[in-house]
Structure 1
Amino acid sequence: MAADTPAMAVLWGRTSTPRRGPKPTLSVETIAQAGIRVADADGLAAVTMQRVAQELGVTKMALYRYVPGKVEMVALMTDVAIGAPPADRAGRQAGGPAWRPRLETWATRMYERFSAHPWALEATVGARPIGPNEVAWLEEVAAALADTPLSGAETLDTAAALSGQVRMVAQQAAAYGADSPEQSLLATLGAVLAEDEDRFPAVAAALADTAGATDQALDFGIQRLLDGVELLISRR
């Protein structure tokens, strides 16, 4: 997406304060927070200029003085909802590389942000304007891996792989709501295998060995991805 689009201008603070009409009483941050409240309550589809204006107690036309339209509104909401990356750069683990705990924290905090605002999963797909907070998350990965022998492409791919794991688990969690995705799946499999265990003996054996090992998909995936990155770094 071009850097000179209205959405990018709003996201990066490159628009001027409205000069005509009444004295400005809103900020793009306030408008984004109102949109977030709507999306948190009723989903992304419920976010319209009219609905956000009602949330703020202003007219729809008043919003257009700050935000050109819904595309820009959603871009702002997403960047504000995701927020800045974790400031706590977990220190070096005993005998371990400094980059690994930083990326563990990065991934788990990203999961927490998506879990708090599930609509952001839908809003962050495909070509779209990207704000400074999202770039700051990418900066954190690049900074963590800066002293490793990974190439720039490998560093960006590491960020993409971790983000993909986080998004996958967060999407499943959002779809199941209050229920545990893993426990729900295991319960379904248990019901099926009660009558068809002979057809799927390997699955049945794995299922029988899951006691106390559920709800670990997020951490398991993160750790195995980082194991691979660590192995690649050590081979260099």
Structure 2
Amino acid sequence: MSEAWRQLGTPRTGGILLIADHASNHVPDDIDLGIDPALLTDHIAIDIGVAEVAALLVENGAVDAAILGRVSRLVVDCNRDEEAPGVMPIASDGHAVPGNALDDAGREARLARFFRPYHDHIVATIAAHRPAMILSLHSFTPALSAHPDQARPWHVGVLYNEDDRLAGAAIAALAAEGLTVGDQLPYSGKLLNATMNRHAEGNAIPYVGIEMRQDLVSDAAGQALFAQRLSRMCSKLALYPGE
């Protein structure tokens, strides 16, 4: 464990590794984002329900290990390329984040403290225990404040970029659970897939990105139900992760 990441379970060569970039809303005491503290419970600060579902998936053995980001995505967004402007967002869903108006030195310090250690740990874990499959776990808000008229009816989304080996099977497995599944929805993995582009596609490891709708994983009952669904999905995907 470090300030930048925490790990659940034990990685296994040939197993399933879960990666959750936005699993925490923690802001270190020495960082002032300049926002209303109430926003730290909002989707702009954290992927609601992800840490709890990840822990359940490790506990029930569906995945061998999970690497979770330990700071809010407003401190640093680890699912971005390092040079991307949004890696330290100055605004999110209509809310200004004035504390992220950093100079070059401040930006470099934030990257060195959180972003790079997080990704370095993923690199080291994959090098030591190459998984057969990576599960990228996120959650999405049912409605964006900036676009309240745009409905997001999907219960879950499946995201991917160039490597779509597991996407079709994941969509089928989740649809079999009675869920409304978004294929590259609520947004496309071809546009926003930095962590998986680097660690999964960059290593030719089959993967799937899962986006759970936050109102369905906002309490313990919903989290347990989604963990069961994803466990069954992982069992099906593990039968042919290399196809």
- Whether TM-score is above 0.5 comes out as no
Report which structure shows greater RCO (CA 8 Å, sep ≥6): 2
Q: Which has the higher strand share?
A: 2
TM-score, length-scaled by structure 2? 0.31
Q: Which has the larger radius of gyration?
A: 1
TM-score, length-scaled by structure 1? 0.32
Q: Which has the higher helix share?
A: 1
